[in-house]
Amino acid sequence: MAETLLVINAGSSSIKFKLYRAAPGGVEMLLGGALDGIGTLPRLRVKGHAGEILADQRFEPAEIPDSAAAQRCIGDWLTPHLAGHEVIGVGHRVVHGGPNYSHPVLVDDEMLRTLESFIPLAPLHQLTNLAPIRVVRERRPDLPQVACFDTAFHRGHPELADRFALPRALYDDGVRRYGFHGLSYEYVSGALRTLAPEVAAGRIVIAHLGSGASACGLLDGRSMESTMGFTALDGLPMGTRCGTLDAGVVLHLIEQKGMSAAEVGHMLYHESGLLGLSGISNDMRALIASEAQEARMAVDFFALRVAQAVASLSVTLGGLDGLVFTAGIGEHSPEIRARVVDRLQHLGMRLDADTNMAGSLRIDGAASRLPVLVVPTDEEQMIGLHTLRLLRGA
């Protein structure tokens, strides 16, 4: 029987999953899919390693109301397709590891209780990350499960990058800048060592731009600072999350506008970002296609904040040797890449229009003093590698 690993990447409204064969040098994908639209328009789509369609099934909202139901549905579909495969473990993306976890760990009861205590720090993600773990434990309590944390890659930050200007006691109690999207940054920085080793060894900023967005400054592949902080609200504006916000605004909304903490939280997580700015959509593609002034303003705002983040992180790094775009918007939107780099011309960046439109690996032009790259991310492969290494004691 072939040894395989299942990787589950649960988000706020979807679960992505991939089945990997455990190979001597790493992992090889056998199939991958996603169950999107949880609670609204659920749809299960699965493809084989060659891109062939294995499943495309829609459900009523009541059939898949939450992440636990989605995981059970995925498990039901996978079961007959695992014939001839020995699943040796399941790897999960968990957004917040708090101050406790700096490396992937095997799941047990105590760890689950600890991770539940971090739900208020990442309410959009942490609960939905943990739901599939519980479902797998119900169905296969004997199967090892590994939690891989989005915060772990940033745990080597200098204290200067971790601190808020708050009393020390709060820092000691865990109120600090954690950073997120670490699995993506770890994958991209590793891929750069093969794709562009001369860039990977230097001072680079990776811009992970998707529905969730952040930027990270790296020195020789190590995270030095990230735009995200204590929660996944900080830093860049996102699809529905606000990004950096004056804390006084929160006080104003509670004290002067009479909003409850729950109401403010819902607004900051679900009604802000691109959606709040435009009043139209949280989807960058829809905003770029729109002629509405509010849509253009939201796009401009996003590009400006990304460029500002790149410039700011270059100060932490003591200079800049390259910029890398990744994730959904970063990989697929030449418009956003062009807008961001156009604002960074003072750092010596220029794009080549043709390679940028094509989304090539190198998109910088001949006149650019700095390399600009597009590198697709693969969080699931990173989780698979971590899971295999932990189970094999590597």
Categorize the per-residue pLDDT at 346 as very low, low, confident or very high, splitting at 50, 70 and 90.
very high
Q: What's the confidence (pLDDT) of residue 156?
A: 84
Sign (positive or negative) of CA dihedral 127, 133, 135, 137: negative
Extract the tokens encoding 76. Answer: 């039901």
**Alpha helices (H) in 344-378, listed in sequence order:** 353-358
The pLDDT of residue 93 is above 90 = yes
Q: Is 284 left (phi over 0), alpha (psi -120 to 50) or beta?
A: alpha
The pLDDT of residue 331 is above 90 = yes
Categorize the per-residue pLDDT at 168 as very low, low, confident or very high, splitting at 50, 70 and 90.
very high
**Alpha helices (H) in 32-158, listed in sequence order:** 67-78, 109-116, 126-139
Q: What's the confidence (pLDDT) of residue 372?
A: 98
CA–CA gap between residue 132 and residue 143 (Å, rounded) = 13
Using DSSP, state whether 129 is helix, strand or coil.
helix
The pLDDT of residue 394 is above 60 = no
168 alpha carbon, distance to own chain's centre: 29
Q: What's the confidence (pLDDT) of residue 83?
A: 85
Task: Average the pLDDT over 262-267 and give the result.
Answer: 96
Task: Average the pLDDT over 268-279 and give the result.
Answer: 96
CA–CA gap between residue 194 and residue 216 (Å, rounded) = 20
Calculate ∠ Cα 166-305-15, nearest 5°.
85
Instruction: Identify the residue whose tokens are 């590891």.
Output: 97
Higher pLDDT, 249 or 40: 249
Are the C-beta atoms of residues 290 and 279 closer than 8 Å to each other? Answer: no
Q: What's the confidence (pLDDT) of residue 203?
A: 98
Q: What's the confidence (pLDDT) of residue 251?
A: 97
Common-topology check for domains 2-149 and 182-374: yes
How many Cα atoms occupy the beta-carbon half-sphere of 16 within 13 Å?
10
The pLDDT of residue 158 is above 60 = yes
Q: What's the confidence (pLDDT) of residue 213?
A: 96
Q: What's the confidence (pLDDT) of residue 98?
A: 84
Task: Average the pLDDT over 8-25 and give the result.
Answer: 88
Round the average pLDDT of the chain to a whole number and report it: 93
- E strands of the chain, at which residues? 2-10, 15-23, 26-36, 43-48, 53-58, 85-94, 105-106, 145-149, 203-209, 213-219, 222-226, 322-326, 372-374
Q: What's the confidence (pLDDT) of residue 131?
A: 87
CA–CA gap between residue 94 and residue 75 (Å, rounded) = 19
Task: Average the pLDDT over 256-275 and give the result.
Answer: 96
CA–CA gap between residue 101 and residue 75 (Å, rounded) = 28
How buried is residue 172: exposed, middle or buried, by Cβ count under 10 Å (0-12/13-18/19+)?
exposed
Cβ neighbour number for residue 191 with a 10 Å cutoff: 20
Q: What's the confidence (pLDDT) of residue 73?
A: 94
Q: What's the confidence (pLDDT) of residue 174?
A: 87
Q: What's the confidence (pLDDT) of residue 24?
A: 82
**Strand pairing of 15-23 and 26-36?**
antiparallel
Domain residues of the chain, as ranges? 2-149, 182-374
Q: Which residues contact 194 (CB under 8 A, 6 or more apart)?
A: none
The pLDDT of residue 12 is above 80 = no
Extract the tokens encoding 312. Answer: 């700011």
Task: Average the pLDDT over 79-91 and give the result.
Answer: 90
CA–CA gap between residue 342 and residue 257 (Å, rounded) = 39
**Strand pairing of 322-326 and 203-209?**
parallel
The pLDDT of residue 278 is above 80 = yes
Q: Is 220 left (phi over 0), alpha (psi -120 to 50) or beta?
A: left
Are the C-beta atoms of residues 162 and 176 closer than 8 Å to each other? Answer: yes
When mean pLDDT is compared over 23-37, 118-132, 273-287, the highest value belongs to: 273-287
Question: Which pTM was predicted?
Answer: 0.93
The pLDDT of residue 42 is above 70 = yes
Task: Average the pLDDT over 254-265 and give the result.
Answer: 96
Just give the CATH number of 182-374: 3.30.420.40
Least confident residue range of 11-15, 59-63, 286-290, 312-316: 11-15
Task: Average the pLDDT over 345-350 and give the result.
Answer: 95
The fourth-level CATH superfamily of domain 2-149 is ATPase, nucleotide binding domain (3.30.420.40)
Task: Average the pLDDT over 250-268 and give the result.
Answer: 96
Cβ neighbour number for residue 279 with a 10 Å cutoff: 11
Which one-letter DSSP state was computed for residue 238? -
Extract the tokens encoding 337. Answer: 């890449």
The pLDDT of residue 14 is above 70 = yes
For helices 293-317 and 334-342, the axis angle rounded to 10 degrees is 60
Which residue type sits at 14? S
Q: What's the confidence (pLDDT) of residue 252?
A: 98
Write out the catalytic residue numbers. Answer: 150
